[in-house]
Amino acid sequence: MTAPDLTRVETLWVYLAADPLLWLTVTLAAYVVAERISARFGRHPLANPVLIAVALLAAILTATRTPFETYFQGAQFVHFLLGPATVALALPLHRHWPLVRKAVLPILAALLAGALTAVVSAVGVAAAFGIPQPMLAALAPKSVTAAIAMGISREIGGEPSLTATLVIATGILGAVMVTPLMVALRCTDWRARGFAAGLAAHGIGTARAFQVNPVAGAFAAIAMGLNGLVTAALVPLILRLF
């Protein structure tokens, strides 16, 4: 009796697993669960919703032996919204523009110092560990938003898809670290905290900044945009040193 039932379940699974609906639903469900956990822990930085949702999904994909490409067929609908959401960052930027205009010098100074630190420290530490040159090229633009980082990586001989992974890992690390680090450094200026989050950890850092404070979010968005430009110019120069 059970054997035909199992085949039926299997047939259903084969159908569902290939359908975008399943993986779109699973992506949203994983995020809902991650959000609940994050809220349950009082938005503790370690309970980062992106980190939890990615861990859940990675476990599910591995357990069901689902290729990433199949998963992305469904998840792409969520991924697509990154474009319009980036455009929408114009609103908080517009709202906090008076504050931004008064901080032009701190913004430019922090931008140069931060962009330089991000590239030199990442490539320097990795080179000290004997990591080979193509890997260094993929690592160099890790603090920049994925679309720009992949372009930089391609130009200097890195593997763009590996860069995308390192970018995401950096984003999650930055979003997790920024609050405890700023508290430890006794930095109470939301502009500086947000700017640092957006510069070091691009969109994921910006998402974290919006979670904490709207001014921090606006400054994170500026940092993310500007760092993309500066890093694109800096990386080819710095990589010649290693």
Partner 1 sequence: MIVALTLLLTCQLIGEALARLLALPVPGPVIGLVLLFLGLRWRPSAALDGAPLATVAGVLLAHLSLLFVPAGTGIVRHAGALLAYGSGLLTALVLSTALTLAVTAFVFVKVAALVGSRPDPTP
**In the complex, least distance from residue 11 CB atom to partner 1, rounded to whole angstroms:** 26
Q: Which of 116, 174, 170 is nearest to 146 (CA)?
A: 170
**In the complex, least distance from residue 2 CB atom to partner 1, rounded to whole angstroms:** 33
Q: Which is nearer to partner 1, 4 or 125 (by Cβ)? A: 125
**In the complex, least distance from residue 9 CB atom to partner 1, rounded to whole angstroms:** 25
Q: Which is nearer to partner 1, 89 or 239 (by Cβ)? A: 89
**In the complex, least distance from residue 237 CB atom to partner 1, rounded to whole angstroms:** 14
Q: Which is nearer to partner 1, 83 or 157 (by Cβ)? A: 83
Are 27 and 52 within 8 A, CB to CB? no
What are the Cα distances from residue 92, in Å, to 145, 147, 157, 193?
18, 22, 36, 16
Residues 6+ apart with CB under 8 A from 57: 26, 27, 30, 71
SS3 140: coil
**In the complex, least distance from residue 7 CB atom to partner 1, rounded to whole angstroms:** 29
What are the Cα distances from residue 170, in Å, to 12, 144, 158?
38, 9, 17
Q: Which is nearer to partner 1, 9 or 108 (by Cβ)? A: 108
The rounded distance, in Å, linking the Cα atoms of 207 and 216 is: 10
**In the complex, least distance from residue 4 CB atom to partner 1, rounded to whole angstroms:** 34
In which residue are the tokens 């399943």 written? 22
**How is 217-242 classified by DSSP, letter by letter?**
HHHHHHHHHHHHHHHHHHHHHHHTT-
